[in-house]
Amino acid sequence: MRLPSAPFYRLLVVTLGLFLWLVACQQEPDAVPHVQPRASNTPAKTGALATAVPTKTATARATAVTITQTTTTTTTPEPAPTLPPPPTITPAPTTSVTLSPTAPTSPTPAGVQSPTGQPGALVRLTMNSRVGVLLDEIPPESRDQVANALLQKPDDYWQELARQQVSLTYNRLHFRPFFYEMLKGQLPLPPESLWQITLGEDGPRRTTIGGHDYVLIDYAFTSVLLTDPESPGKAEFLLGQEGGRWTEPFVLPGDPTLLLQRTGNTCINEGGFPPNSYDSENVFLFFDYTCTADSGGAAGCHRSRLPTLSCLEALGQRVGMVETGMQFERLPWDIGLADEVRLAQVLHTEAPNLMVVGEELETNRIIYQYFPPNSCAAQEACINGDGWRRLLQFDAMVHNLGAEPLGIGRVIRSNPLNTMFQYNACHDHYHFANFGEFQLGVNNQPSKQAFCVESTSRLSNNELSPLTHDYTCSNQGIQAGWVDEYQAGLDCQWIDITDLEFDGESLTMPLTFRFNQNGFLCEGQPVLNENGELMWEPTGERTAEGLPISRPQCDFVAGWDSNNEASRDVIIPVVGSFVTAPCTQGQIGPLRNCGFRLQPLPPLPTPTPASDETAQTPMRCTPGQTVQLSCTIPADTQPQTLRICETSAALGVGTACTFETSLVNRVVGADGRDISFTCPLPRDANEPGGDYAFYVAPVFPDDALAIVSCTAVP
């Protein structure tokens, strides 16, 4: 038997020394003062929070935030957090969070039996933080009134804000392997139905964060991951044994709402996503506090455009920061706790089985968007024409309820065996071309979609669902217990509804998602040849280039396709977008993209052309010229937000624009406001420009809507 060489022993000594150093770095620091739960002023909720929302670069050392208890309602400054040092691979110190004996420490029993009958692993997540409402954008004359109204908000309002802040940890936890030079795995958030938010006993208070005016409340977040015994150690070395702890550091906005409106794309990490995939409503998918202004390119933070500030600079200047850490602790095995936090049954123990999650289709919204003829959406046939289009965006999700991963495999640029993957030049990656299709109504042509099939969130919480996986857009597949989700806002994650015909003010139509209808994904056991190689079979389909498409042979499990389709009714108003829909997530202020109403303007005249001339399109302003308006609101009304949007001549409506795409967005108070903007330029032959539309909303949604009157200033 050959003995190891001397370099082996040197390597062994170095490795042992590194291990001892890592352990020393994880000494227990001073405990963060725990959050004493407040007496609730809303009906008590039993067990876990019931609202379920399914929820990528080495990391900085965490410094847990110290929660300051105060009873005053006057504006008391709180110190700005110390920014973390540049990212390193040094383990962050662990901080424990102590909950009051009266605070819930585990969710309501889920009623799912153990799929193995054997011990698994439990990991507790805890985070102490502060969350609140930024008041800087509220006019001074009404700020105190708004603050007092916020101080009276019920507990569920503050719990929803806390959940939104916790959700901003998603990207760095779920895509964690991309952010470390050392080998580390995902540390996914538990399903949101298992989240516990305990509010501080002193309730909300008026204070400041880094000079920003706030109504703020302390809270503690806790939840529990249930998985197999090996997963915690694969995700993080220090969680390999019971009692092991790790803290993942975060810098979060004090107010988690309106992040895109306030900071632009400074905190958006687009790495691995198609261009133009983020919007104001899905920023939690992309939030990364380590993004810098010069981080560009396909693997950097910013694919669409480079900002002028880093995320930390933008948060400090425009929002206010909270420095905290998500703490992970490997708990002793406790079958009782496991029974309480176990979620999702396992349908097949020896194969993958994918289910369409119908509830996700209920998250949908309408937008107006302009597409030039050479747009990616036009090239991919995601729209029925160019120009202004009205789109129904929606979430879609498939959940692997089997105990085995559904592996598609590594993408090969030229594979004559199958050509299942098709390169998308606009998105600059390969798509799996037979994922599924979406249909609105029963007579409309289904829209066939191609995607990167990845494991994006862990919706199961049980002993057969690992915490980690190796799937990316280059090695596609869905881990056991994980989901592949497509959030509204992603490019082409929509149905074009521009040409729908309406008989009244709205239409109610079924929105249907059909997954894997042609059996390209093996929900069963792959068929191998005598050499252990995957066998293929022809499908009769061909690529756009005329190449034949094959699929892997598969012994499908019984009933594999019984849960591959889901449908939900959606209500589509004749005009408007999600900007004119009610606010549902606690958004306030003039930057929000909800709660606006169209304020009609005088109709444009209908020209009468001379006999030898063609009709000229009537215009409200001269394209490219500055429009100056003097605007007022009635006496004894609260400040209003006036948002001015382009109109579409082809569609004959205003485009109900977001803050980001508006011509101008201004607050009009008791003293009135002068407003100027550039008259819309022509976009194409059908969109000559020269017109705009008014949309109005009270700055504080609890106030009454008022008319904003504007006159032209010569």
* pLDDT over 60 (residue 611): no
Q: Which of 411-415, 600-604, 629-633 has the lowest mean pLDDT?
A: 411-415
Rounded mean pLDDT, 598-622: 77
Summarize the confidence of residues 234-246 as an average pLDDT: 97
The answer to whether residue 19 scores a pLDDT higher than 60 is no
Contact yes or no for 281/593 (Cβ under 8 A): yes
Query: Is the pLDDT at 41 greater than 60, yes or no?
Result: no
The dihedral built from the CA positions of residue 226, 227, 229 and 234, taken in this order, carries a sign that is: negative
What DSSP assignment string belongs to 119-150?
--EEEEEEEEEEEEEE-TTS-HHHHHHHHHHH
Q: What is the pLDDT of residue 540?
A: 82
Candidate ranges 178-182, 414-418, 465-469, 614-618; pick with highest mean pLDDT: 465-469
Segment 363-381 mean pLDDT? 91
- Work out the percent of the chain whose per-residue pLDDT is above 90: 66
Q: What is the pLDDT of residue 224?
A: 98
The pLDDT mean for the chain works out to 84
Helices (H), 231-381: 231-235, 259-263, 311-318, 335-341, 376-379
Q: Residue 404: CB partners within 8 Å, gap ≥ 6?
A: 348, 350, 351, 352, 480
Closest to 636 (Cα-Cα) out of 142, 298, 190 = 142
- The domains of the chain are located at 32-38+47-252+323-341, 256-319, 354-573, 577-604+616-714
| Mean pLDDT along residues 642-653 | 97
- Residue 541 pLDDT class (50, 70, 90 cuts): confident
How confident is the model over 176-199, as pLDDT tens digits? 999 998 889 999 999 999 999 999
Q: Structure tokens of 101?
A: 């004996």
Q: What is the DSSP string of 444-502?
A: SPPEEEEE-----EE--BSTTS-S-----SSEEEE-TTEEEEE-BTBTT-EEE-TT---
Mean pLDDT of 57-75: 35
Higher pLDDT, residue 26 or 324 = 324
- For residues 101 and 151, the model is more confident at 151
Query: What integer pLDDT is reported at residue 69 of this predicted model?
Result: 31
Residue 215 CB burial class (10 angstroms; 0-12, 13-18, ≥19): buried
**Is a pLDDT exceeding 70 seen at residue 212?**
yes
Q: Identify the band that residue 545 occupies on the pLDDT scale cut at 50, 70 and 90.
A: confident
- What is residue 617's DSSP assignment? P
The torsion of the CA quartet 527, 530, 536, 537, rounded to 10 degrees, works out to -90
**Distance in angstroms (rounded) separating the CA atoms of residues 403 and 516:** 19
Separation CA 657–CA 237 (nearest Å): 48
Instruction: Name the nearest CA neighbour of 267 among 488, 485, 579, 57.
Output: 57
pTM of the model: 0.85
pLDDT in tens, 45-58: 333 333 333 333 33
Kindly report, residue by residue over 471-509, the tens digit of the pLDDT.
988 888 999 999 999 999 988 899 999 999 999 899 999
> How far does CA 381 lie from the centroid of its chain?
25
